[in-house]
Amino acid sequence: MKPTNYKDPEYFHKVVDCQYACPAHTPVPHYIRLIAAGKYTEAYMVNWESNVFPGILGRTCDRPCEPACRRGRIEEEPVAICRLKRVASDFKDDIQQYLPEIPKTKNGKKIAIIGAGPAGLTVARDLAPLGYELHIYDDQGKGGGMMRSQIPSFRLPDSVLDQEVNVILDMDVIKHFNQYVTSLKSIVDEAYDAVFVATGAPKGKDLPNLPGRWDAKENIHIGIQWLANVAFEHTNKIGKRVLVLGGGNTAMDCCRTSRRLGGEEVKVLVRSPFKEMKASPWEKEDAMHEDIPILENHVPKSFISENGKLKGMFFEKVKAEYDEKGKRKLVPTGEPDVFIEADDVIIAIGQENRFEWIEKDLGVEFDEWDMPVVNETTFASTREGVFFGGDAALGPKNVITAVAQGHQAAISIDLYCHSKDINERPGPGVTLISTKMGIHEWSYDNGVSNDIRFVVPQADKKITLADRKKEVELGFDLKTAFKEAERCLNCDVQTVFTEDKCIECDACMDVCPTQCINFTENEDEQDLRAKLLIPAMNQDQDLLVSDVLKTGKVMVKDEDVCLHCGLCAERCPTAAWDMQKFMYNTAKAGC
Amino acid sequence: MSYIKPKFEHPRAPKNELGFTRKEYEGSLSTLCAGCGHDSISAAITDACFELAIEPHKVAKLSGIGCSSKTPAYFLNNSHGFNSVHGRMPSVATGANLANRDMVYLGVSGDGDSASIGFGQFAHVIRRNLNMTYIVMNNGCYGLTKGQDSATADHGSKSKSGHVNNFEGIDLCAIAIELGATYVAQSFSGDKNQLIPLIKAALSHSGFSFINVISPCVTFNNNLGSTKSYDYVREHNEALSTLDFVPVKEEIVTKYDDIEVKFVEMHDGTYIKLNKLHPEWNPEDKLSIINALQVARQKDEILTGLLYLDNNSIELNDLIGTVKTPLNTLTEKELCPGSVVLDGINASLR
Ligand SMILES: Cc1cc2nc3c(=O)[nH]c(=O)nc-3n(C[C@H](O)[C@H](O)[C@H](O)COP(=O)(O)OP(=O)(O)OC[C@H]3O[C@@H](n4cnc5c(N)ncnc54)[C@H](O)[C@@H]3O)c2cc1C
Ligand SMILES: Cc1ncc(C[n+]2csc(CCOP(=O)(O)OP(=O)(O)O)c2C)c(N)n1
Ligand code: SF4
Ligand code: SF4
Ligand code: SF4
Ligand SMILES: [Mg+2]
């Protein structure tokens, strides 16, 4: 193999598993160390820079970082990255003084943002400090999009949402709320320099052809609409027996909300096996904790009603079979259909986009699935000056993805408004700095904590089920937060090897607790992987390969389960290993 | 500075026949100087015991005084240990071995510990053919007391302060062969591929096994002009053989009529496969190897590999007919067999 090129920022970026997995590339270990140091406001601002909604995301993020966390590869559970983010938010001081200044004199460019969800707000946040005149349109009365209309208050209190949304709206953003945009043409006809479409995926899927669907329609609800009605207080009760159809996170929010509006026997029915449900494991756990059974392998057959009043539903029982390619098929078990009684049914089986307000002759192309044709890097549509982001761009995902796409779209809009090529993307800001403080002293806490993951305490179920707005999770206290933060392995403190210092004494190889380090003859990557002390099977993780050493061997380090403990560097007599802090900041608009 | 090793290991860390990973054979985090050759030898001992699947509680590790003699703290934390007085490890090993022959005895010592203050003890434990493995971590100096020349420092070797040694160095392997050691090997801390099989074979040998491992002292004797530095040893290392250790169960399928390769059956039924790099030398012929050592000395070469092996010797316990049962498990019944037995003994002496 060729020697590893440290100059390529992507090499070490990939080693920081959590940051790499985060769509917005939040520097996770960096803010976790700040939390451990008691610097909550700084930790919050590091997050705010990168993911815009630390308090919201610290409660609701889909957390793609956690399955990626290295800790999960060396023991059972990853670091509670998400809930540590909430700690930064819960314990921060006033952040006003750290917010960017908004120029009084604008730069003469006018931008329309349609949709005030996380994608739209991110674009506003990124462009406002650059002096843009920003007009934001939304049919709701307040900003937040689905974070307000869908995510229930028992998971995300209004106060947290309001605070983080208002920080952005207060950046001189001109609000056109309670205004549904019925024509994109009417917007582009106004003198906007660019338009950002961030209207989400607001339509809930229905089962229009299921027998009996329209017989008792007062008691059959579409999940998304129903949740919005609850959020905006148009709905405040539901029957005692509730069936929720669907296995995603919307279904989990519907069933748990039902429990709070009078549902006593709430059941979730999923077509698939339990383990293949789309909902996150923690959402399923929380639902079951609230006495909501999840019945797997139940396919809805028909609604049964009497005199316009819903009685219940029939379900067919199926089992999953898989072909050689692992593709799933649900086949009937042959058992008689099951009847389950119900006063209300909530259909929570997915969302769709809604673009009938975009005229077909504007030059904004749509594909065969009626989705806009959008460049996945620049988020440009096929019409110049019109950009898409969030659920409206590439289909429903989550808040952090909407934020990440918002950042990219903001860069494009800024480049576009300055007549620059939007395909020439600005690179990340990268630094690599030694943490050495003395012979064996580092500026980070290199000791590896043996603690297992701490559980976030929850409020008493009696209280939370009685009050829809009472937040269930209480968040870590500071003592626990510190211990949880100490579980972080500091994957951004990199092991940097300098071949001409190495005397090949083997000390680093001998001390490495996970046997990552090898001195061996060079080979092709796959041969090298196979012959290491412990073969490097995880192909997603790179090998760090040195240039040829004095004896003709090379140093090869498998990054896979390196603990970043620094023992190699401590035991190295010549400082051929150094522990260097790697900082990777994705580019923002205007940088 | 870190004092505690993380408890985590590689999730796919291999397990030996006992179901243990290497972790079970490790010791505490070393406090020796970073880069000390002794740490590599500790790692080699760890590997050898792990790979042989020795039950850790069946091992007694013994040492004297010196950086080298501190190393038992850095390997086999689950084994028994005795850190004795300077140069007195052989006495303690002899006593322990006679009292309980069921254990594996592993002595580690330094060139100061064995070739100066403990030279007398070293000689006698060899000539008694005590069943143990004796490893000298040889750095040509007294590391622990800040690097004074030791008795194994070579004539003409230069110390860190620039002083040149005018005395003849003691060749511990030559002495060991001369005094009747039945397994003698020489190696380099920086060559684990050679060292680990040598340690495994030594542990499997019945009788006295001696391994002299050149082990650079990075702090006091790794300078230009020293004959025990990493660079010097690498340049002057002349491997006589490579050695593979073949566990009992593994079948030997390949037939080698080539004289360069030789299988030697060890006392416990394991084999070593010797790949001889110098055909004129025979590990079972004392004369040839004494000769080889002399020639190497003239050529400034350091001969490494298995030097000498006598598989037919009788170890001390068998020689003097000690009781097979460990003394600590003998009960009053066996120790005080009663007046009838006593009368019998008395009668036999009349
Ligand atoms: C029940 C439910 C729970 C969820 N829970 C989570 C969670 O816990 N964590 C997570 O990360 N994600 C969650 N999501 C997904 C997440 O809410 C979305 O992915 C995210 O909000 C998308 O952001 P966006 O900015 O693209 O669009 P949205 O948040 O959907 O915002 C779009 C806004 O545009 C408005 N709008 C639409 N069309 C027009 C128009 N023509 N004119 C004017 N305004 C318009 C909408 O009313 C809305 O306010 C959940 C989704 C649902 C349905
Ligand atoms: C009876 C006695 N005399 C002298 C000493 C001082 N002393 C401690 S270690 C040592 C030499 C150790 O040299 P070596 O065995 O080569 O070990 P190294 O540190 O080089 O590994 C000496 C002379 C002592 N501890 N005890
Ligand atoms: S930091 Fe060094 S010693 Fe620690 S696990 Fe990584 S490679 Fe091994
Ligand atoms: S500890 Fe340092 S000098 Fe020794 S082998 Fe490792 S990198 Fe090289
Ligand atoms: S003084 Fe020399 S022998 Fe002792 S620990 Fe340091 S390097 Fe090793
Ligand atoms: Mg010494």
User: Ligand 1: which residue has its CA nearest to atom 27?
Assistant: A200
The candidate with the shortest Cα–Cα distance to A571, out of B191, B35, B9, is B35
The candidate with the shortest Cα–Cα distance to B110, out of B64, B146, B44, B46, is B64
Q: pLDDT (tens digit, 9 = 90+) per residue, A230-240?
A: 999 999 999 99
**CATH 1.10.1060.10 residue ranges in chain A?**
18-97
Contact B6/A513, CB-based, under 8 Å? yes
CB neighbour list of residue A159: distance below 8 Å, 6 or more residues apart: none
Site of tokens 């790697």: A582
Site of tokens 């080539």: B258
Number of the ligand closest to the Cα of A282: 1
**Integer Cα distance of A270 and A278 in angstroms:** 10
> Residue B216: left if φ>0, alpha if ψ -120 to 50, beta else—which one?
beta
**Integer Cα distance of A548 and A530 in angstroms:** 19
Ligand 2 pocket residue status of B138, Cβ below 6 Å: no
Instruction: Report residue B289 as tokens.
Output: 């190897």
Any chain B CB within 8 A of the CB of A436? no
**Integer Cα distance of A585 and A305 in angstroms:** 58
pLDDT value at residue B242 = 80
Number of the ligand closest to the Cα of A565: 3
CB neighbour list of residue A453: distance below 8 Å, 6 or more residues apart: A76, A77, A78, A79, A80, A484, A487
Reported ipTM = 0.90
Site of tokens 């609409």: A225
**CATH 3.50.50.60 residue ranges in chain A?**
100-202+353-417, 204-350
CB-based contact A534:A73 (threshold 8 Å): no
Instruction: Calculate the CA A113 to chain-centre distance.
Output: 22
Which amino acid is present at B80? Answer: H
Residue B137 CA, ligand 2 centroid: distance in Å: 13
Ranges assigned E (strand) in chain B: 59-63, 80-83, 104-110, 132-138, 141-142, 148-149, 183-188, 208-214, 237-239, 241-246, 261-265, 271-276, 302-309
**Share in percent of chain B as helix, strand, coil (round to 5):** 35, 20, 45
**Integer Cα distance of B144 and B219 in angstroms:** 10
pLDDT value at residue B254 = 47
Q: Is B100 exposed, middle or buried (0-12, 13-18, 19+ CB in 10 A)?
A: middle
Any chain A CB within 8 A of the CB of B21? no
For residue B2, give the nearest of A504, A514, A567 by CB distance: A567
Any chain A CB within 8 A of the CB of B4? yes
pLDDT mean over B26-45: 97
User: DSSP states of A351-405 as a string?
Assistant: EE---TTS-TTSS--B-TTS-B---TTT-B-SSTTEEE-THHHHSS--HHHHHHH
Given a cut of 70, is residue B253 above it in pLDDT? no
Contact A440/B30, CB-based, under 8 Å? no
Phi, psi of B51 (to 5 degrees): -65, -35
Three-class SS state of B276: strand
pLDDT value at residue B250 = 53
Q: What are residue B110's DSSP bridge partners?
A: B137
Cα-based distances in Å from B238 to A441, B83, B196, B278: 40, 33, 17, 10
pLDDT band per the 50, 70, 90 thresholds, residue B43: very high
pLDDT mean over A333-349: 96
Phi, psi of A195 (to 5 degrees): -125, 135
Q: Report the CATH architecture of A18-97.
A: Orthogonal Bundle (1.10)
CB-based contact B273:B263 (threshold 8 Å): yes
CB neighbour list of residue A538: distance below 8 Å, 6 or more residues apart: A73, A560
Q: Which residue of A has its CA nearest to B7?
A: A450
Superfamily of domain B22-320: Thiamin diphosphate (ThDP)-binding fold, Pyr/PP domains (3.40.50.970)
Instruction: Report residue B237 as tokens.
Output: 């290392």
DSSP A575: -
Any idea which fold A204-350 has? FAD/NAD(P)-binding domain (3.50.50)
Residue B218 CA, ligand 5 centroid: distance in Å: 6
Q: Which residue of A has its CA nearest to B216?
A: A505
**Integer Cα distance of A541 and A532 in angstroms:** 14
Residues of chain B above pLDDT 90, percent:
83
pLDDT band per the 50, 70, 90 thresholds, residue A393: very high
Q: pLDDT (tens digit, 9 = 90+) per residue, B271-307?
A: 888 777 777 788 889 999 999 999 999 999 999 999 9
CB-based contact A507:B36 (threshold 8 Å): yes
**Integer Cα distance of B11 and B30 in angstroms:** 23
Three-class SS state of A89: helix
The pTM (predicted TM-score) of the whole model is 0.92
pLDDT mean over A414-425: 97
Work out whether the CA dihedral B322, B323, B329, B334 comes out positive or negative.
negative
Any chain B CB within 8 A of the CB of A348? no
The candidate with the shortest Cα–Cα distance to A540, out of A74, A68, A62, is A68
Site of tokens 């993020």: A61
Residue A274 CA, ligand 1 centroid: distance in Å: 26
The candidate with the shortest Cα–Cα distance to B216, out of B181, B188, B193, is B188
**Integer Cα distance of A489 and A72 in angstroms:** 11
The candidate with the shortest Cα–Cα distance to A378, out of A400, A411, A419, is A411
Residues 514-553 of A with CB under 8 A from B: 514-516, 534-535, 537, 550-551
Phi, psi of A45 (to 5 degrees): -70, -35
pLDDT band per the 50, 70, 90 thresholds, residue A346: very high
Ranges assigned E (strand) in A11-75: none
Mutate to test the pocket of ligand 2, among B40, B144, B189 (most ligand atoms within 8 A of CB): B144
Q: How many residues does chain A have?
A: 591
Q: pLDDT (tens digit, 9 = 90+) per residue, A465-511?
A: 999 999 999 999 999 999 999 999 999 999 999 999 999 999 999 99
Ligand 2 pocket residue status of B66, Cβ below 6 Å: yes
CB-based contact B213:B138 (threshold 8 Å): yes
Residues of chain B above pLDDT 70, percent:
96
Superfamily of domain A100-202+353-417: FAD/NAD(P)-binding domain (3.50.50.60)
Contact B230/A503, CB-based, under 8 Å? yes
**Integer Cα distance of A590 and A587 in angstroms:** 9
Q: What are residue B246's DSSP bridge partners?
A: B271
pLDDT band per the 50, 70, 90 thresholds, residue B248: low
Residue A416 CA, ligand 1 centroid: distance in Å: 26
pLDDT band per the 50, 70, 90 thresholds, residue B240: confident
Any chain B CB within 8 A of the CB of A75? yes
Q: Give, rounded to a whole angstrom, the gap between the first and last alpha carbons of chain A.
A: 36
CB atoms within 10 A of CB B293: 20
Given a cut of 80, is residue A157 above it in pLDDT? yes
Contact B10/A514, CB-based, under 8 Å? yes
Instruction: Report residue B3 as tokens.
Output: 């004092």
Q: pLDDT (tens digit, 9 = 90+) per residue, A56-88?
A: 999 999 999 999 999 999 999 999 999 999 999
Q: How many CB pairs under 8 A join A and B?
A: 97
Three-class SS state of A36: helix
Q: Is B2 exposed, middle or buried (0-12, 13-18, 19+ CB in 10 A)?
A: middle
Site of tokens 């020293």: B226
Given a cut of 60, is residue B251 above it in pLDDT? no
pLDDT mean over A431-449: 94
Three-class SS state of A322: strand
Give the residue from A510, A538, A574, A577 with the most B CB atoms within 10 Å of its CB, the best one to mutate.
Answer: A510
Given a cut of 70, is residue B7 above it in pLDDT? yes
